[in-house]
Structure formats: structure tokens, C-alpha cells
Structure 1
Amino acid sequence: MSLEPGEEATEPSPQISLILPCYNEAEAIPYTFPQLANAFREAGHRLELIGVDNGSSDETGARLQELRDQGSPVVPVKVEVNQGYGFGLLSGIPHARAPWIGFLPADGQVDAEDVVRLYEALAPCRSNTMGKVRRRFRMDGPSRKLISIAYNALVWSLFPGLGSIDVNGTPKILHRETLERMQLESKQWFLDPEILIKAYYMKVQVLEMNAFARMRGTGLSHVRASTCWEFFRQLLKFRFTGYLDPWRASL
């Protein structure tokens, strides 16, 4: 079909949008973003990558724009002042166009091919299904593994039947309608448990896939000791204070 003068060819809408908050990830972006783009293209899926420069002080924004200029399916989003991992992720949601929306860090700890496998398992499912990775094989030190086990055990004791034994495992992929109903608000690292807790109350089925989790290849982890206290405080608030009652009444 030929175009009339003045008309422009329009690209098909993406099938999945992946949001990657990037805080000082200039070293990782040239590897993780192309790997994801190539893996989805080779599998025949239309991908949109929302790269959120989450108040970075390095060349994160420039790296994202370079990929965009090179024709990669990257949508750069700028957050002027870092307010946390969750805020960066939430800032990317309004820019996502696909029916399925996923979240993951930009550190490349989960192979791009595993992200594709998760999407392919989830795509035929109903909109009230969420897909996520369970980091079954993790290259962490003994202390971090112990903290992770204790943390997940605490979450399960407060919210039995949550549907996952790796609460913070990413990527997480949800249907746009489900995501909108969740009304997510956590600006820090608690966004991951908030998603699962709200999925639990919404009776969303959780499809969990085992995946190998690598150590970071570049850059630094931005998780701090204060994160443990934040998780503990927020878990107690969500479970015992009635904080979620207005949201649950709106469902």
C-alpha cells in the first residue's frame, strides 16, 4: 500500500512495555538495553523500553538518548531529582503504550532471554494474571542470601498465600488494567512488595518462573541498610493499620 503525499508510516503498537529505572547506570545501559531489544526482536515480539533517568549524576540520560537516536525502541524519560527506585518506576508508567507492562532494574542480573520467556508464558493469559521471576539461582554472598530468606519468610508470615517466595524478584509483568487498579504509590524499594500484596487482595494469579540471577556486571547496588527498616515498617503498616482499607473498598 502506498502512502499519500504528506502521510507518514506509523509503527505498530508495542506488545509489551518494559520500564527500567536507571540511577547512575551509564555503564550498564549500553549492554542491558540492546540485549533486551535484540532478544525480543529475535523472538518476534514488539518491545518498548522506557528508560527512566532517575535523577542520575552521570551520563545515564545521554546513553539513553544515544540508543534512541540509533533506532533502538527506547523512550527516554527524565526525573530531575531522585526520589527513590519506586518513584522512577512510577514516572515511567504514563509513557508506556503496550497492554502488558513490566518492571526491572537496568543492571542486567536477569538474562534478556528469560524476560522473553516470561512474557511468552504470560501473553496468552487473562488480564488478572501477573508474571514474575523467581531468582532460583542467585550469585549472592551468604549474608545477603540469609537476609533474603528471612525477609521472604516475614512477608509470608504476614501475608500467607501471597503467590511468590521471592517477593522482590523482577521482572514483574502485569496487564495495564490490573496495574491501573493497583494505584501504586511506593516511591522507594517497597514498590515490589506493594505490587504483590495488592495482587493478593485483587485475587490476581501469580505466574512465577525460575531464572538465574547474575551478579551486577557494572555499576553499584543502590540498596542500603536503611532499606531493611523501610520494608519492615511498611509491611507492618500494610498488614495491621488499615492503611489499605480505602483502596480495597474502591475495588
Structure 2
Amino acid sequence: MADLRFLSSPARRRARSRARRAASRGLGKRGRDHVEEVLDRASAFGAPVVARRRNSPSGQRRDGRPGRGRGVKPTPVELSIVLPVFNEAQSLPVLWEELQAVLKTVEDSAEVIVVDDGSTDSSVEFVRLLQVTDSRVRLIRLAANRGLSSALAAGLRAVRGRVVVTLDSDLQSDPRDIPLLLAQLERWDAAVGWRQARRDPWLKRVSSRIGNSVRSAVLGDEVRDSACSLRAMHRRCVDSLQFFDGFHRFVPALLRQAGHRVIVMPVNHRPRRFGVSHYGVRNRAWRGVVDTFGVRWLQARRLRYEAREEPPGTP
């Protein structure tokens, strides 16, 4: 662990160089510029830029200051944003700039939970640099690549906010739509996006259309775009979700199944700028059809009862 305040000038330059190389690998010019900006701030404030201090089991860091161990109670926040990430090092700098602009207009008490799904590029290094200067950023790492459902579930289980937003990190969803969805939560339990004008290759659009048609016919959920990643919901909705492999395709149906009121809102959809999609026709259409019948099975066997506890002496 290197703290730039206590290093000699040559050692400081070496530490800075190592951090720059680790974080800039695979990034575009915008990402490299952001790395330089973060390192400048870290140098000015004496922040650690090479590794993070580990917390002791009691929740105290080794330098005696509070950490995030078992002895520290998590601070509740108003808004939690969950970002599953898999090899999105080029997209993250742009996405972070967009999110910062939105957060300024939405809520000061917020957290951004980045869930790394076993990335092999410099996605994790970039997020660690963000944590140096922004305490709202949290990083959760899966031990290996387990897919979107696992990453999303890990992030949702970790939220501390009263309201939760989910968003993919590939820049196709527009963070500027977040306030639109949040505004609906005054009257609805959840607001989910509908990519009305999708900017995907035709084969991807066709496979999604097949999956949505089958799902809507079997489940009767009347949702045009069940797999849209842009969603906003109250915390109670998150607590009622059933997590399973593929659940991310059925979030609106699962919420309605649990008795929540869900509204569908048109949202902007953008072409992919960097990299390639990590999900193909096989796991998008065929697996979606198979999973639909599994969700229908759960619907048919959902427990329905009313009960109340009566105190002693109740006639």
C-alpha cells in the first residue's frame, strides 16, 4: 500500500506510474484523461492510489480509522444505483460522467454499486480509482464470470437505498431517463423501461421480439420489453424478488406476481459504442422461452393466504 504523502519524490513517481498503467490499460483517451484527473486529486489530498487498506474483523482499519467490517453499521442512503459490469473498461469513464450529471439533479444521499462479473480488462482498476475520490462508489466482485443474473442479484442484495435503480454499463441505456422513472414512484411501486426504438442489430431485435411474445402470451404480464435493464423501484420490491438464473429477463413479471404495481415507460436506447454484446441469440431467445415456463410454474404455485396475529384474550 502506498500513500503518496509519505513517499519520496522518486517513489511517488513510481507509484503514480504503476497506478496509471494498471488503470489505463484498455481505456480510450477519455478514460486515460479521467485516470490522470483522479491521480492528480489523490496526490493533492494524500490519498492511497495503489491498493486499498483491509479492514480488521472488528471493522477498524489497520490505521485505526473506521472501515466497513462487521463492527460498522452501514449508513442508509436514499438512492442505490446497481451497475453490473463485464469487460466495460472503455464504457465506464463515459458512463460515470453521465451518472454524475444525473446524480446532481436527483439525490445527494446516493450510492453506486458496481458489480464486476469476472472482468478480464481494466474495469476493476478504473472503479477502484473512482473510490479514491468518491465515497458513493462501492465495488462488489464475483469470484468468476457467472452471468448477468448473478451480478444483478449480488448488487440488489447489497443495496442500502430506499429507492433502487438498475442500469447496464454498456452505454445503450441513457442515464438521463433515470429522473423520468423516479418521478413515477410517487404513484407506482416500480417503473420499468421500454426500449421503444431499439438500436440493436436486427438479429438481436428479432430474438428479443420472439422471447417477449412468448413470455407475454404465457405469463400475461403485458410488458413489451421485459429485459430492459433500466428500472426504478422501491426497496420493498427488491426484497420481494426471487433470484434464479435468468431472473433478469422477468423482473416486471416477478414484481407483478408479488403484488406490486408496475408502470412501463418509453426510454431512450443508444447504439453500442464499445466492445460487443456478451449475450447471443441462443441464450437470449431459446433460454428465455424455457425460463418463461419455469416462471409460469412458480405463478401457479404461489401461496395465497391472509393471516393476522391475535393477542391473548381476543374473543
Paired residue total:
235
The alpha-carbon deviation at position 213 of structure 1 amounts to: 0.4
Residue pairs, 1:13-162, within 5 angstroms: 13-71=76-134, 73-122=136-185, 124-125=186-187, 129-160=189-220, 162=221
Distance 1:250 1:97, change over 3 A: farther
Long gaps (5+) in structure 2 = 1-64, 67-73, 307-315
Q: Is the 8 A contact 1:53 1:79 kept in 2?
A: yes
Cross-structure match for 1:164: 223
1: distance between equivalents of 2:270 and 2:291? 28
Say which one has the larger Rg. Answer: 2
**Deviations, residues 173-204 of structure 1 (Å, cap 9, x unaligned):** 2221222122x2223xx222332222222232
Residues of 2 paired with 1:35 and 1:223: CA distance?
25
1:210 aligned to 2:266?
yes
What is the root-mean-square deviation in Å for CA atoms of aligned residues? 2.6
Contact 1:132 1:172 in 2 (8 A): yes
Separation in 2 of the partners of 1:200 and 1:94?
A: 20
Residues 152, 196 of structure 1: CA spacing in aligned structure 2 closer, same or farther, 3 A cutoff? same
Q: Could you say which residue in structure 1 is the equivalent of 2:256?
A: 200
- Using CA pairs below 8 Å that are at least 6 residues apart, which structure has the higher relative contact order? 1
Distance verdict in 2 for CA 1:194–1:204, change over 3 Å: same
Identity percentage over the alignment?
Answer: 20
Deviation at 1:145, TM superposition (A): 2.4
Q: Contact (CA 8 Å) 1:37, 1:72: kept in 2 or not?
A: no
* Matched-pair contact (CA < 8 Å) for 1:37–1:73: no
Q: Which has the higher strand share?
A: 1
Structure 1 residue runs without a partner (length 5+): 1-6
Change beyond 3 A, Cα 1:229–1:40: same
- Normalised to the residue count of structure 2, the TM-score between the two structures is 0.68
Q: TM-score, normalised by structure 1?
A: 0.84
Which residue is 2:243 aligned to?
185
Which amino acid is the alignment partner of residue 238 of structure 1?
A: V
Shift of 1:44: 4.4
